[in-house]
Structure formats: structure tokens, C-alpha cells
Structure 1
Amino acid sequence: MFCYQCEQTAQTDQGAGCASQRGNCGKDEQTSDLQDLLIHAVKGIAQVATAGRSLGVSDPVADAFILKAMFSTLTNVNFNPARFTRMIADAAVLRENLKAAVVQAASARGVAAPVWAGPAAWVIPEEVGELLAQAECAAIRAGEDQVGADIIGLRALVLYGLKGVCAYAYHALMLGQSSQEVYAGIEQALDFLANEPADVQSLLDMALTVGTINLSVMALLDAGNTGSFGTPEPSQVRISPVAGKAILVSGHDMADLKVLLDQTAGQGINIYTHGEMLPAHSYPALKAYPHLVGNYGGAWQDQQKDFAEFPGAILMTSNCLIEPGPRYRQRIFTTGPVGWPGLRHLEDHAFAPVIQAAKALPGFAADAEEKTITIGFGRDAVLSVADTVIEAVKGGAIRHFFLVGGCDGADSGRNYYTDFVEQTPQDTVVLTLGCNKYRFNTLDLGSIGGIPRLLDMGQCNDSYSAIQVASALAKAFDCGVNDLPLSLVVSWFEQKAAAVLLTLLALGLKGIRLGPTLPAFITPTVLQTLVDAFDIKPIGTPEGDLAAILQTAAE
């Protein structure tokens, strides 16, 4: 086992990475190795799918499988080795069926059938022991002794970005949004990795291509959310409990939440969101349900405490899952790509067990003191007051905008983001998205001419919304996005954040401050390349970074 795909990776004698029998996220060695083997199998499907598309062959089942399989390997999603073993077996069947279709199409056109190599030619064992015996050849650092750490790190950057892209595309697919162009791009990138590229420039180019694909995927997901639930609008959300039976929904999947709301309507059960589900309260079609009563708890890393204290059932729809504690292990359920050994996993929106558990549990005995926060400042809400914002900037009332967002996490150093936001001057505005906002979303920063100084734009995928706002403002000011009085201060944790970062780089954004630590798979040489091309800056101190940003803006 070796894994360094997330920010919480261990520091070992092999460098920054989890290399023992258990990763810091909680996955064991067997699960980690099976995840690597599943990725290897998925690369094989992508090789065949890419060849097939050139012959007019495509397989929507294989396309969807790639999304879910890749999503399942993200940090804190699926820890169940049995599920990975089944997915690898499914991958073998899908690949061979697709091969047969490609061979048939080649024959019909009178051309030679492709000759398969690499993962596409891998003979996938059926027995788990035989599978695990081959884990080393599928490991993320396989071949490092031949090509060096820089190449391996760049391959990892492309792969981890692709994992994030697939996760967003899976969420979009669950809302009925798909794109053959996107799926072809994902498969071409995986095919590229399957051929073990060793050229720095081609790897950097592919990383930016992945970022461009992710922009299309985030547009799909945005269309799925707004098309299904309406346009987000500024909304007050209760963050203190109310009396009654209760279900807590965590993760990112709005489609799962909508189905659960339908299934619990009129049953006397209150539904609460948790973590990245908080933005649900800004969508008109979701907040119209009277039993969607509020948000409970904080960011994902606090869930063991939050879930233990929640007196109802819990449904985990996507990342980020931590090993369930004994106080709630019997009342937490998983769905979609999520899994943990021993937890009850629900398929096809069959949520009856969650509802039954909620009815059997005590729920909240009484209303707590009412506390609220304001969310829902998506692009439509912000751009609806664009004229006011523009005039405030031109008149000097607003000096600067800070986008402070991304992933939260448990390691030290993330108090930087709280301190940074607290110290922003009164004539500046803070935009935020992702679960990083839990560091400061209860702060009262006041307002400027009726515009709140703290604007919550939504989930991490709502980076798309922030990009649209920045583009619109740049057009209004007749300048480039990099010339706006806007600075990005980003926290990363896992692979969705890697995908968003690649999107920002693909769009040419520069000067991003990134923390709390830089990815372990980015070597000093590669980092210098990114610094030279995009002026990426590791975070320093809140005081120093604020002073530097405002000084540069004033020049």
C-alpha cells in the first residue's frame, strides 16, 4: 500500500504518503490495493472505449461505470473491499463485451481490429488473493525507478484530477445530465495514462485538458441542480434543532435528498442537512418541503462527534465518510458510491430502512434556541446586484474581493482560513464555497451598501458559479479576470479540489494561494513549473498574505 492522494497523508520514511497497513483516512491495505487495481481495470475499459469511439462504438453502461468506479476510489468514499472486488469483476465483463463490439465494428468496416496492450490486455483474476498479488504493478508509483518522481507526480496530478471530474460527472448523471463529449474526454485521458506517458509537457497539457473537461462537467451539474430544483436564492437556514424525529443527510447528492424528502413527506420526520448538503436550503424546490428544517453540525471532519450526538438516523450519500463510531454505527446508512464494511448499504433509493430507523429513534425532545445563517449567493443572486457591486467598486466602497473556499480538514493549519477572513478589511467582500466555509460561516462581517460582506456561494462544484461571476465582472470592467480586484485563497483536501484547481489553471487564473500544505505528489521541480506558469503561492500567515495581496492590488 502507498497512497498520497489527499492532504491528510502521513509523513513516513518513504516520504509523504500512507504506506502502513492503514491509511490516515481509515482504509486498510487491502482496500487501498483493490482501489489501485480497480483504477487499472478502468484504464483498460477506457482504452477499449476510446478505440471504439473511432469506429462508432460507444457503451453508456461502461461510461456510467467509469464514473462510479473512479468516484468510489476518492478519499473517504468507499472502504469496503468486497465492493471493490465486485467492481473489478464487473469491469472485466464490461471490458470484454466492449472489445467484442469493437472487433465487430472493425470487421464491418473492413479494418484491422485493435491490438490490445497494457491494462486493456490485463488478464483479471477472479480470486482475491491472485488479484492482490498483482497490486504492485497497478500502484500509483509503479515505474518510478525508471521515469522518476516528477513524472509519477504528474501522472498522479492527472489521475487525481480525473477522479474529481468523474465524481462531479456522476452527480450530474444522477440528475439526468450527461455528455458524450465529456465521457470521451475522460476516457481519452485515462487511455493517455494507460500508455504510461513520460513527457513533462504532455502531462502538463493533459492536466489542463482535464481542467477544461471539468469546467464542462460543472456546467452539466449546475444545469442538473438548477433544472431540477430551481435557481439558488439567498436564504436563512436554521442551524439549531427542532423537536421531533429526525434524519441527517450528509454528502453532496441533491438527487438522493430530493427522493428522501418525497419518501418522508407527511410521516412526521424532520430532515436535516450536514456538511456539503447545506446549499440544498437555497434551492426553491427543496426548501419548499416544510420538513427540511435545517442544517446540523459542521464540516465533514467533525462527523464522529456530530453523528454521535444526533438522535436520529443518518444517510451518507457521497464523500466524506469517516469510520463510524459505536454510538451511531447501527443507525448510519450508505448509498451510491459510499461504503464501509458492516454498514447497511441501500440501492435504487430504497430508503425505507432509514425511515424506519428514524421512527424508532427518539429524535430531538425540544426546540433549541433558534440560530440561523444566510446562504444562497449563487451567480444569479450576485449578478442581480451587479450594477450595485460595480458602482461600489468604482466609488471605492468595495476595495477588494476574496474567494476563500475549498475543502476543510482535521489537520492543523486550517485555522489560517478563519483568521484570514476575520482580518479582511471592512471595505472588502468574502466569497466562499465548499466545506471550508464552516471555518467562518457563522461570523458576522456586516455589509457594504446592503451587500453582505460574506457571501456563501454553495458547494465546491459551485466554483462554476464563481467563475461565471468573475467572467461577468471582468466583462463589465473591460478587463481580464486576472486584472479584477479579486484574490483566490484556496484550501484543498481531496480529488474534487484537484479537479477544480486544474479548471482554474486551465482558465489562466494566476496568483492562487493554496494550502494548508501543498500536494505530496507535486515534486519541487513540478511545483516550480506551476509557480512559473501560474504564480501559485503556498499560503503563509494571514497577516502577511493579506498585506501582500492588498499591496499588489494597490500598485
Structure 2
Amino acid sequence: MVSLTTADNLPRSGGNQLNPEEPDRIPVYFETKPKEYSMFCNQCEQTAKGTGCTAMGVCGKQPEVSDLQDATVYALRGLAIAAQDAAAKGVREQGMGHYTAARLFSTLTNVNFDPDRFVPWVHEITAMRDDLVRKAGLSYTSGPAAFVPGADAAAIVQQAAEHGTLTLAPDEDIRSCMQILLYGMKGVAAYADHAAILGQEDNAVYDFLYKGLAAGFDGKARDLNDWVGLLLECGNVNLRTMELLDAGNTGTYGHPVPTEVPLGHRKGKAILVSGHDLRDLHELLKQTEGTGINIYTHGEMLPCHGYPELKKFPHFYGHFGTAWQNQHKEFPQFPGAILFTTNCIQKPQASYQDNVFTTGLVGWPGLTHCENRDFSAVIKRAQELPGFTEDAPGKTVMTGFGHNAVLGVAGAVVDAVKSGAIRHFFLVGGCDGAKPGRNYYTEFVEKAPADTVILTLACGKFRFFDKELGTIGGIPRLLDVGQCNDAYSAIQIAVALAKAFDCGVNDLPLSLVLSWYEQKAVAILLTLLALGIKDIRLGPSLPAFVSPNVLNFLVENYNIKPISTAEEDLKAILG
């Protein structure tokens, strides 16, 4: 553990070590949200002006929803404090951990934009807290554990002004760490919710969410060293959470196998499934058997084609479209119904909004929400729409290179490295987005030498997923490891290679070139740091919630670098 006991331990300068010309991007501290701000949100990569959205979210989030999300987080902090204190007395409520994760997940970027969903959740959270307080004989008179939400959305929005991220701490470096922790926990919560849906839970994960949510509000004094410790703990907990999700996915649907997926379509009615949730897709496949409807994946659902139990359905056909930010251009071309299972939704355009449905935690005002995985409304709409009128198989792409598949040929991979056939591995992956600069990742993959292998995951791969890069000794040069949560697979591959070569992960011929957009990327980055992985290249821009001093600390201790140009970075890595 590095020593970091006060703000003075962090180097201070006019800028930061990644970019000395870049000014301090953290807004000044306010006791409450400034009157000229109708909201404040800086949790995603595309936040306005690189500092924060203060009038409306770049994602489309309205100020009311942003404030209701802040109130939801504040209410969850109160529940977490009560949960910790009750546990100390031997009182633990079954299901409360998963509930906490799900509600925290609902505040992640591009998940839920519907204010009508958040108001009852805030009241539900505080009612659950009060019930726990009574059962455990606790008492609170101030802070989030005593928070009493207003009766309606307008009242809660007024209260939220006192509980946003700008009010977390007067010291910008501690506030920065608190924000990094919160956003990392949102990523953990997303994976924990997915895992719990598939029957994989660990109270240690939930206990950390309680600990992290309570931190800063539980009366315990913490210096910067303590906050850094919490960030690394969050990274370790996220690794465990991704392990649970991997066990849920593979235990339920089998280990992914290399699979060729058509990017075209075939004649017939159609439903497009976006998001990340395998259980939702499986239920939809079962409910559409024998209906003549073909099921297509969108975005991060592409890797689902590699799971044996999902591949069994003959009407599970192909993949349509690319990453989440292109849906406004692509969805008008899809002649069927569209189902969103987790985050990635954007404001539907009038041309196709009647075709869009949500389920689980996803919400958008006015859209039909499918409760309890009853997709009859989606099926009905698909049958009303024309579907595809002719076959057009189109190009194909490969997916299904999870850790089980790659490690199955580990011997050949090791031999190829030892013989010099494979010079280097690049993990090029992460979130995609609309902000300029992401063409870097396409150029990087295109210009990577022919004796290198590209591992990729998450929706960042859609910048290059259909490139024909060839093979090395029968091993494809482009290996799609899976969804963002399948970073666990990538880690397992790296650990296995390090063991085979009897070296540390940082000594492998492996470089991480990552793109980020939302909070799951924050959780994964904390996991990589907790594992001691260094020399990560990160882009396309730096998080607005990382203060210059904290950024410099990460540079000094982990050698995090910003992306530059594909040519310069390849030259620096390969020599």
C-alpha cells in the first residue's frame, strides 16, 4: 500500500502530470448546489465541457431525474449506515443487499430516465431503513440515516440540492476519491445485480457496498490514505463480483465457444435485444419459440451468441447494429420490436419509439415496461411490424473467446510467443461513445503489426469488430472476449499466461489500451489497479471527477497514460 496520509502528500502543480496544460477540472466546493445549476452530474466521459452537466445531461437526463438519482443515492447511504449498525447487533435482512445493488445500479448512466420510477424507490428505501432501525433498536437524529423524503418528486428534488456530489467534502482531493468510490460502486452494483439474478451472491460484496455508501457519513475520520484504501478495496470486491457473474453466466448457459455470427438478417418477424442481461434474452427466446419471430442482438448482447444454452434456439439468428450511441441512426432501419434489458438506452426517436420496450431497471418516460419478464407486449408488437421481407445473410463476425476457450489453446499460444510468431498482445476494449477521438481505437487495431494479437471486450470493440485481421498459427488475431463484465475473463487469461511464463502480469508482452464511458469502466479500472497492473493507456479523455492531485498520484504509482496517437503509442509499446 502506498503512503498517502494527507493532501500535502499528493504533488501539486499548475496542471497534472498527464497533461500539464490541463486546468483544474474539479468545480469549486459548494455547501449546496449553486442556484444557477439545475443539476450537477459528471459521472460519465461525455459530461458537458469536461466538467459536468448543469442544465441537462448529455445523455438526455433531465434535471429532475438527476436530482432524484442523487436523492436515491443519499437514501441508500442511510440504509447502508443502518445495515452496518444492525449487522453489528446480529440483525441482517435477507434480500436487502441485492435490493441495495439494484437501486444503486438504477442511477448508472443510461439506465433509467423515468422520474416516476425513482420517487417510489426513494420512499421504499427509507421505509426499509426505518423498519431495520426498529428491528435492531437503533436511533438516528441526523444525516442520511434520518433522511425523510418529501411526499412527491418536486419536494424530493428540493431536498436533493443538499445531497449531490458537489457537497461530499470541502477538500477537492477527498471529494474526488469519494466520487471515484461512488462511481466504482455503481459498477460493482451493476455486476452484483446481474449475478444475483442468476443465483450468485456473496454477502461480502453487499457488505462492501454498505461500507462504501456509509463512508463519509458514518462519523469515522478518514484521510486520503484511507480513501485510497477504499478505492483499492472496491477494485478487489469488483473482481469477486465479476467472478460471481462469470459463474452465473457460465453455470447457467455454459462456457462460451467460438461462434460465427451473421451481421445480416433473414426473412421474418424480428425482435432486437439490447443491454447486457442473459436471463432476459433466455426468457425472450423461450417465449418466442414457434412464433416465427427471429431474435437479434444489439450492442453488448453480441457475445450471447457464444453461449451453448442460448445457441440451441434456432430462431436466435444474428446481430444488428453497433454500439449504443448509434441507435438513433440504426434503430429506424430495424423493422421489428426492440427490447432494452439494462443500461445503454437513449431517448427514442418518434420514428421508432412505439417499437421500444424496457424491462428490469431500465426506464424511459412513456415507454411500455415489461414486468417480471413477461414479454407478451414485445412479441405482439413484433408480430404487427413487417419484419425483414427477404434473406440477407451479410458479413459474419466471431465471438465466444472467453477464458475457457482461450485457455483451452493456451499451449499453442505460449508456443507461438516463444517461437516469436506472436510478439505482443493488446487488450483494446472498454466503453464506446459518441465523443470525438474514439477513432483512435480503430486506427490502433488496424495499424497493430501482423505478429500481434488483439483481445477485446465491451462495446468499444464495435469500432473494429468486423475487421479481417487474419490468424497466427490458426489463432485469430482478433479475439472477442465478451461483454464489459467479461474483463474477468481477460484477467484470467493474463494470470494464466503469467503463470505459464513464470512472471508477473506486468512482465507479460501485454498492453492495455482502454476506453471508458460509464461507471462499470471505473469499477474495472479500480480492479486493475488493485491487482497492481501498470502502464494502462486510457482515453479518449480523462474523468472530470479525478482531481489533478489524485490524477498525479495515479500516474506516479501506476504509470497511467493518456492515449496519444495510434502510431506514437504502438511505437512506444513495441519499440
TM above 0.5, yes or no, is yes
Aligned equivalent of 1:161: 184
Match of 2:495 among 471, 487, 496: 471
> Is 1:191 aligned to residue 214 of structure 2?
yes
| Aligned equivalents of 2:399, 2:48: Cα separation in 1 | 35
For the Cα contact (< 8 Å) 1:239–1:294, is it kept in 2? yes
Change (3 A) 1:274 1:363: same
Residue of structure 2 aligned with 1:123, choices 148, 160, 163: 148
Offset, 1:132: 1.5
Task: After superposition, give the CA deviation of every residue in 1:347-384 in whole Å (9 maximum; x if it has no partner).
Answer: 10111000001111100000114321011111111111
Q: Which residue of 1 aligns with 2:9?
A: none
- CA distance in 2 between partners of 1:323 and 1:224 (Å): 31
Counterpart contact for 1:409–1:493, Cα < 8 Å: yes
- Give the distance between the partners of 1:152 and 1:3, measured in 2 at CA: 14
Is 2:149–2:159's contact at 8 Å kept on the other side of the alignment? no
Partners of 1:194 and 1:178 lie apart in 2 by 26
| 1:102 positional shift | 1.4
For structure 1, which segment, 275-284 or 195-204, has the greater mean C-alpha deviation from structure 2 after superposition?
195-204
Q: CA deviation at 1:435?
A: 0.4
Partner of 2:51: 16
Map 1:109-120 → 2, pairs under 5 A: 113=138, 115=140, 117-120=142-145
Report what 1:106 is aligned to: none
- CA shift at 1:94, angstroms? 0.7
Other-structure match for 2:8: none
Instruction: Work out whether 1:78 is the aligned partner of 2:116.
Output: no
Is 2:130 the partner of 1:96?
yes
Contact 1:373 1:441 in 2 (8 A): yes
State whether residues 340 and 357 of structure 2, in contact with CA within 8 Å, keep that contact through their aligned partners in structure 1: yes
State how far apart, in whole Å, the 1-side matches of 2:141 and 2:95 are: 21
Aligned length: 536
| Cα deviation code 1:280-316 (max 9, x no counterpart) | 1000000110000001100000111211110000100
| C-alpha separation in 2, matches of 1:480 and 1:116 | 51
Normalised by the size of structure 2, how large is the TM-score?
Answer: 0.92
* Partner SS for 1:134: helix
CA–CA distance in 2 between the matches of 1:350 and 1:380? 33
Q: Counterpart of 1:263? A: 287
1:77–1:339 contact (8 Å) kept in structure 2? yes
Give the deviation of 1:123 after TM superposition.
2.1
Question: What is the identity percentage for the equivalent residue pairs of Structure 1 and Structure 2?
Answer: 54
After TM superposition, give the deviation of residue 114 of structure 1 in Å: 5.6
Give, in whole Å, the separation in 2 of the partners of 1:198 and 1:346.
44
The more displaced of 158-167 and 135-144 is: 135-144
Whether 2:77 is the aligned partner of 1:54: answer no
- Deviation string for 1:27-85 (max 9, x for gaps)? 11110000000000001101111111222211133222211111111111100011111
Range with bigger deviation, 48-57 or 192-201: 192-201
Report if the CA contact (8 A) 2:78-2:144 is conserved. yes
Aligned partner letter, 1:370: G
Quote the Cα distance in structure 1 between the aligned partners of 2:152 and 2:299. Answer: 38
Deviation at 1:130, TM superposition (A): 2.2
Instruction: Say if 1:252 and 1:318, in contact at 8 Å, map to a contact too.
Output: yes
1-structure distance, mates of 2:140, 2:380: 53
Contact 1:246 1:269 (C-alpha < 8 Å) held by counterparts:
yes
Q: Partners in 1 of 2:382 and 2:153 — Cα distance?
A: 37
After superposition, residues 293-372 of structure 1 pair within 5 angstroms as 293-372=317-396
Who is 1:547 aligned against?
A: 571
Partner of 2:64: 30
Q: Give 1:124 shift.
A: 2.1
Contact 1:43 1:193 (8 Å CA) reproduced: no
Partner secondary structure for residue 455 of structure 2:
strand
In structure 1, how many angstroms separate the alpha carbons of the residues matched to 2:305 and 2:426? 24
**What one-letter code is carried by the residue in structure 2 that aligns with 1:54?**
A
Instruction: State the partner residue of 1:529.
Output: 553
Distance 2:240 2:67 in 1: 31
Relative contact order, CA 8 A, sep 6+: which one is greater? 2
Picking from 199, 202, 224, the partner of 1:179 is 202
**Shift in Å at residue 129 of structure 1?**
2.5
Per the TM alignment, residue 152 of structure 1 is displaced from its structure 2 partner at its CA by: 1.4
Give how far 1:153 is off: 1.3
Alignment match of 2:101 (pick from 52, 55, 67): 67
Aligned partner of residue 426 in structure 1, secondary structure: coil
Output the amino acid matched with 1:30: E
Match of 1:213 among 237, 241, 264: 237
Cα offset for 1:116? 5.7
Whole-angstrom CA distance in 1 between matches of 2:208 and 2:500: 33
